[in-house]
Amino acid sequence: MKTIKYISLFVLIVLLHGCTKDLTSLNENPAGYSELDPAYQFTAVQAGMSGDREDVWRYDLLLASPMVQHLGGAWGIQAGGMYQVFDLTYWASHWEKTYPRELKNIEDVVYKTADDPEQVNIHAAARILRVMIYAKMTDLYGDIPYSEAIKGYTAGILLPKYDKQEDIYVDFFKELDEAVAQLNVDKGPFDGDLFYNGNVAQWKKLGNSLRLRLGFRLTKVDEQEARKQVEAALNGGVLESNADIAMTKHMNLSYRENEYRGNGRSQVFKNEAISSGFKLTTTLVDYMHDRQDPRLKIYGGTYLGDGIVGVSQSIQDITDYIEPIGVRPGAMGWDYWEDYGSIVDGDGISRWVGHSFKFVQPSIYVSALDAPFFHLTYAEVEFLKAEAALRGWAGLSHANAVGHFHHGIEASCAMMAHYPGAPAIDTDKIEALKASYSPFPSDFAEAMDAVHGQMWVNFFLNGAEAYANYRRTGYPSVIIPFEGTASNPTETGGVIPKRFFYPQSELIQNATNVEGAISRMGGKDDWLKPVWWDNQ
């Protein structure tokens, strides 16, 4: 049944998208159906979270991923890579896509399954998924509409207030605690779930793992509460293996408007020749290459030929015959005008590599249209357990940190097998990567740098989460903010932006409430003002 629903998703998304033209039509269905099946809506929400090319192109690939120095080179990275406002629609994209689509539909699922004992599991899972979606929103923007959001039909609220992030997080923990307790294994699986096919036990683990992630967000502002939430999450039971990864397995589909079954990020990379200009940065490439990290050749490859990687027959994979070269953070490809020169390929033929083709691009594996998207991984959980051990939480000590750190590396390497066609990583290469951190640092700051250096690598192509984790921890230390050049200036004085701008549409349609949030920032929609949990 899940397969049938996923195949039918395109029709559903068109219908759902058509319901979002204005606030007064939030719950109207132009197709004439009295009610949509919650399972279909649940599927649509999960697909839209990573399948919308236009959204992920902006908020992730052009903003968050360049800010954490995963990606560079493309024209639009002037926003995230050079810290320029550049185009306000980039900063507004995730807000203007998520509220009327994912949040509207997941709120609807929660609302109409609330009093049905037979739908308790999809109801509880929807509450967890709602927290995941709202968490990304508030982590990017700060104070946002939350308690009154999407209440146009149910409560007649068309202009919702902006809740303080501190209050939103309090509700997150309440929602996760209640939702996990509400999940009933005896009721069996539910329909419409792309992550776990409705497996209730795995949703319990996901709810606790999300609580673990969000609990650690508070380490700067309320360490006692952070510890409380982290320990509660661990006691409740978190992801235990790569079989528990929360991921969307996308279909091999090219871009089509309102079609979200394909991988949106991959569709960006295949939109134009040479990966639409995207390249891996020197920060990431050098960090991984210096440790002989075997994931580097799965994340990125060097390709000779002016075409679409994985599609054009004329492109030659020269990854094994050339040193990996990243693009400097904040730079364009043409800032390195020099040709690489001659290489000799596997057939003994000399090939000339010009300046356009010498850089590491997103690989044929991660850019596959049916590549999965990882929302929350077992590797992340293990790295967070390592941090808990470093802090002496949950009965753990510094000695336990090494084991969890190693488990995180192992899990991250093993999950590369989910990328279509990716080779399995040899055990000896994983052992060598672990050994590159030996002896594990005894100093807390150095150990945190190691743990969150690997967390940062693990978050490749999940720029929003990498951006949040970097703001919280300040690691990895290899991220050096771009200070600007004569040809590529920065508008922040070399400071990585702390948050996204509010959409211009909010300043027009919901002015009173957004101005209240702005006043709490000092009267300016300030991208250098930290969100609540990022304050020291």
**What pLDDT band is residue 513 in, cutting at 50, 70 and 90?**
very high
- On whether the CB atoms of residues 271 and 255 are closer than 8 A, the answer is yes
Rounded to a whole number of angstroms, the CA Rg of the chain reads 23
pLDDT digit string (tens) for 247-270? 999 999 999 999 999 999 999 999
State how far Cα 140 lies from the chain centre: 11
pLDDT band at 8 (very low <50, low <70, confident <90, very high): very low
CB 249 within 8 A of CB 263: no
- Interval 292-339: pLDDT, tens: 999 999 999 999 999 999 999 999 999 999 999 999 999 887 787 899
Task: With H, G, I as helix, E, B as strand and everything else as coil, classify residue 206.
Answer: helix
Residues 357-370 have a mean pLDDT of 98
Give ∠ CA 226-229-232 in degrees, rounded to 5: 145
Alpha helices (H) in 8-119, listed in sequence order: 9-17, 38-51, 53-56, 65-67, 88-98, 104-113
Contact between 46 and 129 under an 8 Å Cβ cutoff? The reply is yes
Q: What is the pLDDT of residues 126-161, one digit of tens each?
A: 999 999 999 999 999 999 999 999 999 889 999 999
Q: What are phi and psi of 398, to 5 degrees?
A: -55, -35
pLDDT score of 430 more than 60: yes
Mean pLDDT rounded to a whole number for the chain: 93
Q: Rounded CA gap, 148 and 513, in Å?
A: 11
**Residue 115, pLDDT score:** 94
pLDDT over 50 at 27, yes or no: no
**Apex CA 132: angle with CA 130 and CA 137, to 5°?**
95
413's CB contacts (< 8 A; 6+ apart) are 294, 295, 425, 429, 430, 433
